[in-house]
Amino acid sequence: MQQDKKLKISLIQYDVIWEDAKANHDYLDKILENHQTDIILLPEMFASGFSMAVDQIGEKPFGPTFQWMEQKAKELNCAVAGSVSTLENDKYFNRFYFVTPNSGIYMYDKKHLFSYGKEATVYSAGDKIVTIEYKGWKIRPIVCYDLRFPVWIRNTEENPYDLLLCNASWPKARREAWITLLKARAMENMAYVAGVNRTGIDGYDLEYKGDSHLFDTLGEDLEVINSHPEILQFEIDKEKQDKTRKHFNFLNDRDSFYFG
């Protein structure tokens, strides 16, 4: 596969409309109109907010929100990624979709469920690492609470990646942990790490400040290359990453392990 040496990534941090998929689709249509990028990353459960009311917000696989993502990917000629409350085989999953403009589809079910927020009482955990191949880049998707578990995210020889995508609903009260963990995952895995988070106040009266970031291979903040308040766009560079990895060779000294 031919590789694009540089990718533009747009992190969409906005006040998700509570438990109203159509309203969120319509709002995103407005702010994303004519937007040019390679990847759009949306917050966790961007069509509903991080709600446990699965009987109200749960969608069948490839349901209305997936269809909106597919249409948007084709319309804007970019990949669209985000997670959706999904009902499959009588179980609900916090499912991350990555949809490309040529109808490529990747799915990842959130592994670590946020027990403190009762997520584990209504959702089922996934158990598979997923590697996305897009424009010659290897991309690892995770969802929110997964970020706290470095073994699951480890950049290994068996499952290597160049870019980690994390979408979240991470409250303001724990914002320092959010930023610190994103930065740490970038440094320890020598990978770009993109983290998008919602803003506003949700249906449980929790406040969110966004704090979306994209860290480079050494954990440095990349500069935003546009000025839209809800669209933080960055550019990542594979040649720069390869040069940094070759120079420092930190990954060569990592411990070997396996999931068992």
Determine the length of the chain: 260
User: Is 78 one of the annotated active-site residues of the chain?
Assistant: no
Query: Catalytic one among 144, 166, 183, 238?
Result: 144
Catalytic option among 8, 19, 44, 238: 44
**144 carries an active-site annotation:** yes
Q: Do 53 and 13 contact (CB within 8 A), yes or no? A: no
The burial class, CB within 10 Å (0-12 / 13-18 / 19+), for 252 is exposed
- C-alpha to C-alpha distance for 189 and 217, rounded to whole angstroms: 8
Of the candidates 8, 59, 78, 110, the residue annotated as catalytic is 110
Contacts of 51 (CB under 8 A, 6+ apart): 18, 19, 45, 57, 85, 202, 203
Active-site annotation holds for 5: no
Which residues are known catalytic residues? 44, 110, 144
